[in-house]
Structure 1
Amino acid sequence: MNKDSKRKSLRHSLLWPISNEKWQPISIPLVSILISFFAAALVILFIGKNPLQAYYNLLQGAGIMPKPSYAGYKSMVTDFLSLLNAMTPLVFASLAVAVAFRAGLFNIGVSGQMLTSGFLATIIVGYSGLDAILAKPLVLVIGILAGGMMGGLVGWLKYKFNINEVVSTIMLNYIAQYVISFFIHMYFIDPVSRQSRYIDEAARLTLVNVEIANLKMDIPLGFILAILTAIIIKFVMDKTVVGFEIKAVGSNRNAAKYAGINVGRNTVLAMVMSGGLAGLAGVTYYLGYFSSIQPKVLSSIGFDSIAVSLLGNSHPIGVIFSSFLVSIIDQGSTYMSSQAGIRQEISSVIIGLILLFSACGAYMKHKVSRLKEKEVERKENES
């Protein structure tokens, strides 16, 4: 075998995991993750630390692997439930980004929609004193409505005036951030924490310090809803006329319009759905994972969700797994820092690398397609 043949054989063997088009939605993100962890391992080695030990500590901190010892009322189970609690709003936020992507839209305003929904649910229900049976469902309804209206406004501006959704969502982020900060400082500030006053436990979507088997657990009530929502979104996108029309508009607006699809209606509808999901992310974050709102601060989840959605290939089920991975990295970073002596910012480096290599997915598909075409041409020439 000559050198040229060996080189081609090596190249084909390296690209084999992503060569099957049927499995590319799964194989490309997995390859991206492996490459990003390898690149992060090189960074950890460069600073003189053991990457295997660091990754093991990461899993320990997230409740995936056991720690050598635990504080009172804590165990691996409580750490894992804390992971699910942090993961819940990320799943909703990532689904919001994924739905907008399907319609060819980029909802970068998830953080603002989260904040608006969380604030309205806080002042309407969180301070109302309502019983838990009424308060918790009402929080979810307000989250969906507030986020949906905010997203619908963006979709309407896009359709009616052709205002780019990236510009409008960024501007709405700033508006929500500073207007809500003003109202918190004027009417709802806690003089000690300098955040909004803590909400009633009856309105909170996370059951805090529930004692079971001598353990104090944080139970995220919204987690099961997040999984069910992902399944429903998949069904809507794959099996309904609405889902087909949204994807058609996202693929080619002109062709969709020529086929008789109402582009404006589906643009607004997609952003209403996206905003509603962002609203659920907001209430599970501000009235679940936390119980107050920090003024002038937008949640990073709204921006992390872009990376998570890309990693999950904008697929509802893929979003669940990518949210799980990113949550492990985020939740385990503190313990990794304390045990391995690695700065917590390394976790952000890992997530950034995952996003970088996930964004190369289109290039990977193009490269594989070109290699297949060349292989076909070579065989035709030989015959």
Structure 2
Amino acid sequence: MTTPLPAELPGSAMTDEEYGAYRASAALWAGTSVLITDQHGKVLIQSVDYRDTCLLPGGAIDKGESPAHGAARELHEELGVHTVIDRGLAVDWVSAASSNAPASVGFPGELIHVFDGGTWDDKQISAIRLPESEITAVDFVEPARLPDLLSPGDARRALAALRARINAAGTVLLDNGNPLAPTTLDRVGILRTPRARHHFAFHAAPVTATLTVRQSWAWMFAPDGRILLLLEPDTGAPCLPGGTPEPEDHGDAVTTLHREAAEEAAAHLTRTTYIGYVSAPGPAVARVRYAAVLASVGPAPVDTATRRTYIRVLATPEQALQLFDWGPAASDQLAVVHQARHRLGIPRAAQQPVTELTAPTAW
């Protein structure tokens, strides 16, 4: 019996043994990584006793083992937990030339499957039990710290997988950690700079008379339930549209909001509704929050205050919160946002990729 050669060698034939040897000569290693975050969006990394850079949980796939089973086994061996692994985030081809492995290892290149380990609460984190050797410590770190703590390729892969998880676009293909088809989040480099930490209390109530309104921001809904989010072009940092009161606003926070939305994003709003305010320890100020319906966006403007042209995207409210570091009160604000969305007659957004608004749009 003979087996046809691959397409690149037409017209030839080889025995099963020859074909097997041919395929084995091109074989790659196979490995797994598991992306786990805490409830504040920080990524779990491991310190190990055999290298000076950290790793995501995971490791080599055993003979005859599927990548998903290998990932679950590694989590049990390394963290002492049993977790169902059923969602892929990325598959990365790691070339032999990109590795610092000694020549004696004969590293042929590797396919690494990155799986979603989920968001762990305090109970799950407290259940971690490290083995006697290999894993010396675990920590949850800001995504922007990954390039400082992991090898360059591992950091690229971890950030690409995290963006794929946020983007909800399915499993992405990587080449040495770089997406073959970069998304908006990849192109902007979202989460490559530290998120601003704003662990402030949210109050679903009118601003008290003792507080001065310092900022006016809004959750601006498109008809499909997604909201307008602005990304800084040089850092990828996200923000809701809105800003600081100016004298011409005459102390009216809604006027501030509409002016800032036009200046930052050429966004025009209808049905603006107040939902609450955020307060922080220290100065007696309030940062008010609104919900509103997007009527249209014009050509991307240069913001008069920052001299930047923001990248405008539509994202679900849940996607937006993954890009912020708002602490425990974020869930309180999100619940009120969805109540306001319902009152405005806007449907809940389906899970979908983040979309950039590159041209004027009217709804």
The alignment's TM-score, normalised by the length of structure 1, stands at 0.24
Task: Considering fraction of residues, name the structure with more helix.
Answer: 1
Whose RCO is larger (CA < 8 A, sep 6+)? 1
Task: Considering fraction of residues, name the structure with more strand.
Answer: 2
Larger Cα-atom Rg: 2
